[in-house]
A = this chain, B = another copy of it.
Amino acid sequence: MAKLIECIPNFSVSKEREPEKYQALVDLAQSMPGCTLFDAQTDGNHNRSVFTLIGSPEGIENAAFELTKKAAELIDMNKHEGQHPRMGATDVMPFVPQSRDVTLEECVALSKRVAKRIWDELQIPSFLYEDSATRPERRNLAKCRKGQFEGMPEKLLQEEWAPDFGERKIHPTAGIMAIGARMPLVAFNVNLDTDDLEIANSIAKAIRGSSGGFKYCKAIGVMLEERNIAQVSMNMVNYEGTPLYYAYEMIRALADRYGVKIIGSEVVGLTPAKALIDCAEYYLKIENFSCHDQVIEYHLIDMK
């Protein structure tokens, strides 16, 4: 049975602005033993790139460190500009369980080992965020990153903002990082047959955990300008705790109040099979189904 962990490091560099630095990170990621570079996204406006690696716990732990080391060598945050908020050369580094025998707790432990090693060997401090957070307000990446690279020296001196690993000062060029573990996230959007953004906003507010809705659902309303329709755009941050069909059915019920119907939905990027199979199980009323025992792909993964 193969233990698989995903790591999605975000680097403050883009192919569009600094192709050689970007490529050096891609090359290193592709050369790391025990893991595979699944995907590398780059955005010139954000001046940021997002890598997706999957591998064994050992392979991922090592790759996470080596990539952070290389990014620190290549990137000087004092010269970094881009639209996306950022505080470090490697800005964010989440670890996600991707096989059934890996627990979130294992990923939390791994994230702490990586954060410790990054401080010990590279002198880059870090906040532990998401499920690795040591206090509630640090679960939220946006709160950790508030002030960004330029504001961090001052922020770290505040009583409650000592790094989890490292001293109260940033690395002079690589800044500071957020490191943590989280469940797989599914980006799930539901389209409404209305051009009234207020309706999508109102539904988003009702269903998101932060304002009393589903605990593991983040939601905002957005306009799809090309189609002139409003959308409820969601991050389902724990599809086992809050399944996708909870959100879908609640949106349907709430939209009905306005005489509005769901006309479609989208899953953006990758999703674990189970997030969708759980929905099939609900809609087909399947009794006594064991996803991990009955779905052949889980056996194929375990077989290797």
Residue from the list B2, B283, B286 in contact with A266, Cβ < 8 A: B286
Nearest chain B CB to A75 CB, angstrom units: 28
- What sequence of 0s and 1s flags, for each residue 94-105 of chain A, a beta carbon within 8 Å of any chain B beta carbon? 000011000000
Contact call A4/B300, Cβ cutoff below 8 A: yes
Assembled-state Cα–Cα distance A184/B296 (Å): 10
* A2 contacts across to B, CB distance below 8 A: 304
Nearest chain B CB to A279 CB, angstrom units: 4
* A271 contacts across to B, CB distance below 8 A: 294-296
**Which positions 1-57 of chain A face chain B at CB distance < 8 Å?**
2, 4, 36, 38, 54
Q: Does A273 contact B (CB under 8 A)?
A: yes
How many copies of this protein are present in the complex?
2
Contact call A284/B265, Cβ cutoff below 8 A: yes
* A301 contacts across to B, CB distance below 8 A: 297, 300-301
Contact call B265/A285, Cβ cutoff below 8 A: yes
Assembled-state Cα–Cα distance A273/B297 (Å): 6
- What sequence of 0s and 1s flags, for each residue 131-161 of chain A, a beta carbon within 8 Å of any chain B beta carbon? 0000000000000000000000000000000
Q: Does A109 contact B (CB under 8 A)?
A: no
Q: Does A222 contact B (CB under 8 A)?
A: no
Q: Does A267 contact B (CB under 8 A)?
A: yes
Tell me whether chain A's interface is mostly helix, strand or loop, or mixed: mixed
Contact call B266/A299, Cβ cutoff below 8 A: no
Contact call B272/A280, Cβ cutoff below 8 A: no
Contact call A270/B294, Cβ cutoff below 8 A: yes
* A285 contacts across to B, CB distance below 8 A: 262-265
Q: Does A207 contact B (CB under 8 A)?
A: no
Contact call A267/B286, Cβ cutoff below 8 A: yes
Residue from the list B272, B276, B300 in contact with A276, Cβ < 8 A: B276
List residues of A whose CB falls within 8 A of some B CB: 2, 4, 36, 38, 54, 98-99, 184, 191, 244-245, 248, 262-267, 269-273, 276-277, 279-281, 283-289, 294-301, 303-304
| Given A4-B300, A244-B284, A279-B280, 9 additional A-B pairs, CB 8 A | A264-B287, A265-B285, A270-B294, A273-B277, A273-B297, A276-B281, A276-B295, A279-B283, A283-B283
